[in-house]
Structure 1
């Protein structure tokens, strides 16, 4: 019997366990190591932060689902991975051995890299359900005593979509509370232009998002490096193309939500041959680590180089569609290796995103995610908000039921047109 362990039970890790169980059957072992027993649907966190969702609506207790599906579960969390011994040391001192490992930890949030940054200091976050609940309490204080708001993403960030979502959702929530007229809003981002998204834009995301910001009276500053946060004030440097400071800004706020840069989690960070200097997992085109070939990786923890040089460091996002394609490829590769064959499956690395604005939104499809692309499409409208709600309900149902059916590809087919995208898929199939 082969033992396959998944490290992490977020979007990629949970789906990974489900797909592995389907592919390997009950004659082989599948287990998950995670810190905690619950799956939380992170895309709903901006709604949680303004009171549109409660914790119980966006969380799933994984214990009964894993038990029903025959998936082992170690919710103690990982202290340290020892890939040379094919062993994970858990936080309680015990260990889990594996024949194959899939790292799906997600990131560690690097708030400590900027003075005064993060929920334990001067700013709010929607990166974690606990952060979002704290942001909701701060939102209530903002409504009671309105003042300037700061939203955006700092240098080195790679996940920009939620920053845009939250700016527009917050705008809608403040309008509903009848206090938007007393809340000046500034969007500060390390991107070289609005709508870059770490992807050099997708379709006309630049024009679409700038238009939305103008309509909602949101001022923006791009190419920014946050120097520090103080009580009620952010010190920000706007960087010119030559790397020098173009202008220094002191931005007042009574409420700030800024997305951080990511790095690899402590359990894997600094392992020679496994990670890059930021702690992200090195992987070949099969999602397989070159130094430890029994180790695969999926999701935000995977090392992907930036698209190109920008005045301020900007990372590349790992969207749900991309992660889903990684999961499917890794499942096929491990199943082939277990059966005595080679690893041949290559993920498509396509991107589809529904960015909700509370009463509308922007959708985009990039195929592949890294340019140049075969599909480079974006659109906006009220339909995106409805689609995001439907996506949330469907995805949480999939996690609760333990099913591994791919969803993002179906969504992309519906948005772009089945014939058009199927033709592109056939042209770009590995």
Structure 2
């Protein structure tokens, strides 16, 4: 009897985990193919260190093909370009592939249009892709030869606040190492309603802890604000306040892939796929979405739009839920794996230059039973 075909789109945290987990759940009795526009896995959490020379690109990447080959998974280095969900086919830049089960793990794109002056050739750096982080490092080295004030921030709609905080404190640490700390004004600008919101609603004492960290590092914070645009050497907020800088790194909002957004009936206007707590799409039992590609409903309203972080740990949780449910479907068993995004535990280790914070909570989103932030050098990498 022919094996069922599982097609996975994307080869980073969500795609890699889903592909390996499906093979494991079915003890190899399944044909798994991964289609990815990139032929390398990038460990995105380490991009914060690359601009300062604490990591090299080769330290946080590896080729996908050998890993998949070792596990009996077919790898196709190509870009997905369209979905035929009724016909169970995926069009790519190299060929069309059919499937019995589909996992969409296509990640994100930077939405630089949210703040004019961001993006390639713009007036501020970001670190959300390997190429972006390399450029941020080039700018940092130029800054060291001609220092001035610095602005680090996360724009309206951004969700990756942990990276913004990590970069902020690593910049502060690097300034101290370079003997520049006293002469550089360092400002943090964020759409968060309050310090330590992190895009997950905050945790007990988080605002006070982050405030203490910023005070210790002599960092000025501006929160609950939107960015209007970035001129050369100047950030302009929506209320017309301005912050001049010689170096700036800003985390933009993310959006999904265009071909996902353009597929009728499965995605919102940002290109995120609407899913159930099984990570099946709302209308197709044989189509799953995990990681940033999956839509998560924000359980609050804020004056300035705030996104939700879905990278890393929650992406892997989603991928395992999807893999277990696909395995159950193939074996003819009822689906037994359910985990809404907000009910996942929150686990994060945030580096802060020469210090850090471990973030733990019973649920990713409120209401929660408990949550804690543990500061100390044990969280520093």
Q: Does structure 1 residue 323 correspond to structure 2 residue 310?
A: no
Distance 1:118 1:106 in 2: 18
Residue equivalent to 2:196: 195
* Over 6 Å off, 4+ runs: none
Residue equivalent to 1:283: 275
Partner SS state of residue 102, structure 2:
strand
Is contact 2:115–2:155 with CA below 8 Å preserved after alignment?
no
Partner SS state of residue 193, structure 1:
coil
Partner SS state of residue 317, structure 2:
helix
Residue equivalent to 2:73: 71
Q: Does structure 1 residue 349 correspond to structure 2 residue 344?
A: yes
Residue equivalent to 2:107: 106
Residue equivalent to 1:271: 263
Distance 2:102 2:369 in 1: 33
Q: Does structure 1 residue 375 correspond to structure 2 residue 370?
A: yes
Is contact 1:80–1:266 with CA below 8 Å preserved after alignment?
no
Any stretches of 5+ residues in structure 2 without a counterpart?
none
Distance 1:6 1:61 in 2: 17
Q: Could you give the per-residue CA deviations for residues 149-201 of structure 1, whole angstroms, max 9, x where no partner exists?
A: 11110001111100000000011112111122222111000011110111121
| Structure 1 range deviating more: 27-36 or 76-85 | 76-85
Pick aligned residue for 2:24 from 11, 22, 32: 22
Pairing of 1:133-148 with structure 2 (within 5 A): 133-148=134-149
Is contact 2:17–2:320 with CA below 8 Å preserved after alignment?
no
Is contact 1:8–1:103 with CA below 8 Å preserved after alignment?
yes
Residue equivalent to 1:402: none
Residue equivalent to 1:314: 306
Any stretches of 5+ residues in structure 1 without a counterpart?
238-246, 390-430
Shift of 1:344: 2.5
Q: Could you give the per-residue CA deviations for residues 307-346 of structure 1, whole angstroms, max 9, x where no partner exists?
A: 2111100112225332222122111100000011222211
Shift of 1:358: 1.4
Partner SS state of residue 260, structure 2:
coil
Partner SS state of residue 176, structure 2:
helix
Partner SS state of residue 243, structure 2:
strand
Is contact 1:119–1:125 with CA below 8 Å preserved after alignment?
no
Distance 1:319 1:379 in 2: 21
Superposed CA RMSD: 1.3
Is contact 2:226–2:237 with CA below 8 Å preserved after alignment?
yes
| Structure 1 range deviating more: 280-289 or 317-326 | 317-326
Q: Could you give the per-residue CA deviations for residues 44-95 of structure 1, whole angstroms, max 9, x where no partner exists?
A: 0010021111011111111111111111111112112222221111123x11
- Length-normalised TM-score, structure 1: 0.85
Distance 2:370 2:280 in 1: 27
Distance 2:22 2:348 in 1: 25
Q: How many residues align?
A: 376
Distance 2:64 2:317 in 1: 22
Q: Could you give the per-residue CA deviations for residues 348-367 of structure 1, whole angstroms, max 9, x where no partner exists?
A: 52211111011111111122
Q: Does structure 1 residue 132 correspond to structure 2 residue 133?
A: yes
Residue equivalent to 1:166: 167
Q: Does structure 1 residue 230 correspond to structure 2 residue 225?
A: no
Is contact 1:321–1:349 with CA below 8 Å preserved after alignment?
no
Is contact 1:81–1:267 with CA below 8 Å preserved after alignment?
yes
Distance 2:82 2:283 in 1: 17
Pairing of 1:383-394 with structure 2 (within 5 A): 383-385=378-380, 389=381
Distance 1:233 1:71 in 2: 49
Q: Does structure 1 residue 211 correspond to structure 2 residue 206?
A: no
Distance 2:120 2:165 in 1: 19
Is contact 1:114–1:228 with CA below 8 Å preserved after alignment?
yes
Residue equivalent to 1:186: 187
Shift of 1:104: 1.0
Shift of 1:14: 0.9
Shift of 1:148: 1.2
